Structure 1
Amino acid sequence: MALFAADSRQPQAADGLSEAQIKAAYLYNFAKFVEWPDAAAPVTADINLCVVGNNVLDGALQSLDGRKAGERSLKVTLHSSTDTSLADCQLLFVGVSEQQRMVPILKNLGSAPILTLSDIADFAEKGGGIALLFRDNKVVFEVNLESIRHAGLRLPGQLLNIASHVYGR
């Protein structure tokens, strides 16, 4: 179910999967490829995927709970946009229902080593890490490289090469 590999191929949608399932698969792959500072995500620890919003991706992110991302397992937890425990997340998905609160959520994270993701249209443009978007009948993603670097994270160049747009390059 890998929708992209660490090479230069364009991402292709898999037959029979919903848009939400494809976006969840992208997020799963990002979890395997992102590099966190050692102190933020020890190799032996679970990867905390925090989800903020109502009915985010039709619940498709819940299917990732317990899945292995490399040597570590994903742990999916639901949070409110005002939750102060978001600093314990390595991945934070902000749902469309939080569009009006998106900027304050991002500002509250500061430079915490958290990969932020969303399916809000202007998420990467307004400071989020990765936006998962549906365009021309396929799922694409945009990356805000400045936000990724500010959080102390690294994404492989191959992943950036298949992004539909990279801000701050």
Structure 2
Amino acid sequence: MTIRHSSWGRRLLAFVLLTLLLLSAGVVPSDALEPAPEDAVKAAMLYNFVQFVRWPNSFVPAEQELVLGILGRDSLQEWLLDLALEGDRGGSLKTVELDSLHDLSAQKHTLHVLYIGRTAHQDLQAVLRVLDGVPVLTVSDDELFIKQGGMMNFVRQNSRIRFDLNLDAAAKGRLKISSRLYGLARLIVKDDVTQEGR
């Protein structure tokens, strides 16, 4: 298990977020800027996403730093490791590399978010069993993830990066996801029904 922080991550994240904001507002034409790498966009989205998630108070005491566990390897993993993500509690979102299911089992009560990389997808059901009922936000880059019991996945729709939500899985983990995100989601699973975001 390895813990990493980044000294330059905040500046890079701020650049990505500013670029996304300007592009979405139409302030800067999309062909006027070099596009941010897709994985940088996803990392920035995850940073923003955690600010709209509420964990049980007993699991995240006031002022406690949020911990992002990373299990498995893929291209997004490197961006998540290199970004010092700012949380809404004033501290950074610490990244922890998990090398195995054994690491995950041992650390599950210290994690708040788990990103499951592509090389760990073969262990997906075992991962979800380990985290059953534990308030850990599960995230993947696989667009089928929410249908398999995960809470959030990234997906490319045309030229945009979007995300899907499984509110049933989040409720099972005692997490509350703000309704403010519903309109941004591509798909939402609620009460065993998959519907389009608002």
* TM-score, normalised with respect to structure 1: 0.87
Which has more helix, going by share of residues? Answer: 2
Structure 1: stretches of 5+ with no match in the other structure: none
> Which residue pairs with 2:155 in the alignment?
133
Q: 1:30 aligns with which of 38, 41, 49?
A: 49
Q: 2:79 aligns with which of 60, 65, 70?
A: 60
The 3-state SS of whatever aligns with 1:124 is: helix
Q: 1:69 aligns with which of 66, 81, 87?
A: 87
Query: What is the Cα deviation at residue 15 of structure 1?
Result: 5.4
* Within-5 A mapping of 1:137-152: 137-152=159-174
Sequence identity of aligned pairs in percent?
Answer: 27
Deviation sequence 1:33-61 (CA, Å, 0-9, x none) = 11111011112110000001123415110
Q: 1:156 aligns with which of 155, 178, 189?
A: 178
1:92 aligns with 2:114: yes
Structure 2: stretches of 5+ with no match in the other structure: 1-16, 192-198
- Paired residues, number: 161
Equivalent pair of 2:47/2:86 in contact (CA under 8 Å):
no
* Within-5 A mapping of 1:41-52: 41-52=60-71
Equivalent pair of 1:28/1:64 in contact (CA under 8 Å):
no
Q: 1:21 aligns with which of 30, 37, 40?
A: 40
The 3-state SS of whatever aligns with 2:177 is: coil
Query: What is the Cα deviation at residue 134 of structure 1?
Result: 1.8
Query: What is the Cα deviation at residue 98 of structure 1?
Result: 1.3
Equivalent pair of 1:53/1:94 in contact (CA under 8 Å):
yes
Root-mean-square deviation (Å): 2.1
Larger Rg: 2
Taking CA–CA contacts closer than 8 Å with sequence separation of 6 or more, which of the two structures ends up with the larger relative contact order? Answer: 1
Query: What is the Cα deviation at residue 81 of structure 1?
Result: 3.5
Equivalent pair of 1:81/1:105 in contact (CA under 8 Å):
no
* TM-score, normalised with respect to structure 2: 0.75
Q: 2:97 aligns with which of 70, 78, 99?
A: 78
Letter in 1 for 2:86: K
Letter in 1 for 2:160: K
Q: Quick one: distance in 1 between partners of 2:83 and 2:46?
A: 9
Q: Quick one: distance in 2 between partners of 1:59 and 1:124?
A: 23
Equivalent pair of 1:145/1:168 in contact (CA under 8 Å):
yes
Equivalent pair of 2:74/2:118 in contact (CA under 8 Å):
no
Equivalent pair of 1:87/1:109 in contact (CA under 8 Å):
no
Letter in 1 for 2:163: F
